[in-house]
Structure 1
């Protein structure tokens, strides 16, 4: 029995490393000092809103809640839910965008890539259009007859609700 276990143990590939989690301090110790700025890319399929911009901080709507990214953040890949992306630029101003969904990739070199399906600056949204869209989505949900219609309507209600909350917090 020990021989069988020994044979199995030998078959583990040499380059195999079990998943592990690191800390930002560990990354800094290996790669030198932590940069003072975060390199930020905010990308939609049709345009790059930020392209290699030097920013102070970005707050994104992760699937498990909002989280902030600063220079020296531990490398991460995160699914993003509908919500507000807040970008603190070098001047201290905060620019706010609504993101429908997407992914965030934090790289070891203090670069953050946020890739979204739809990204709109909050100032460009019409509150009355959002309100009427939410009403239409709620009506579609209440009148949906099959599971697919209900799922689509629920997604629309969730997105419009998040849009409404983002607009309310932007006042």
Structure 2
């Protein structure tokens, strides 16, 4: 009986040791580029939150491999030092690989702090005004 316990303990230790040695990725290599600028080029980051057409989601190291289409919105990048960068994207793709590398390719991207909320509201109001004053259904369809 004592021999059976010893074998059981030995197997348990070996199995646990293998599990602990396998581990999971604790770093994530992140690349983020747009037509106007490269924001990250293989940098290690803690987390990335993205807006996609299937819903917004966060990406951590060891995330399941995924390919998603980005919708207009804000990508939040949580750097290892605690800094958070927020970048507006118009559209693009996010690719998450099984080696914990993540790539975002955006059609257009701009840091949120560079955007002027008053100017954005003005452009939006102008576009909505033009749309509401359109006379035909065809013109309204063209504007949307």
8 A contact 1:138–1:153 mirrored in 2: no
8 A contact 1:83–1:99 mirrored in 2: yes
TM-score (structure 2 length as normaliser): 0.78
* Displacement after TM superposition at 1:138 (Å): 0.8
1:123 and 2:113 correspond? yes
SS at 2:127 equivalent: helix
Residue in 2 that maps onto 1:71 = 61
Paired with 1:51 and 1:96, the residues of 2 have a C-alpha distance of 16
Paired with 1:151 and 1:98, the residues of 2 have a C-alpha distance of 26
Q: Map residues 20-31 of structure 1 onto 2, 5 A cutoff.
A: none
1:88 aligned to 78, 83, 86, which one?
78
Paired with 1:75 and 1:125, the residues of 2 have a C-alpha distance of 32
* Displacement after TM superposition at 1:152 (Å): 5.4
Q: Give the paired residue count.
A: 123
Q: Map residues 131-170 of structure 1 onto 2, 5 A cutoff.
A: 131-144=121-134, 145-147=136-138, 149-151=139-141, 153-154=143-144
Paired with 1:119 and 1:152, the residues of 2 have a C-alpha distance of 25
* Displacement after TM superposition at 1:38 (Å): 1.1
Paired with 2:43 and 2:140, the residues of 1 have a C-alpha distance of 40
List alignment gaps of at least 5 residues for structure 1.
Answer: 1-28, 155-171
Paired with 1:39 and 1:151, the residues of 2 have a C-alpha distance of 42
Structure ranking higher on relative contact order (CA contacts 8 Å, 6+ apart): 2
Paired with 2:74 and 2:141, the residues of 1 have a C-alpha distance of 23
Say what the alpha-carbon RMSD is for the aligned residues: 1.7
* Displacement after TM superposition at 1:109 (Å): 0.7
SS at 1:78 equivalent: strand
1:60 and 2:50 correspond? yes
List alignment gaps of at least 5 residues for structure 2.
Answer: 1-18
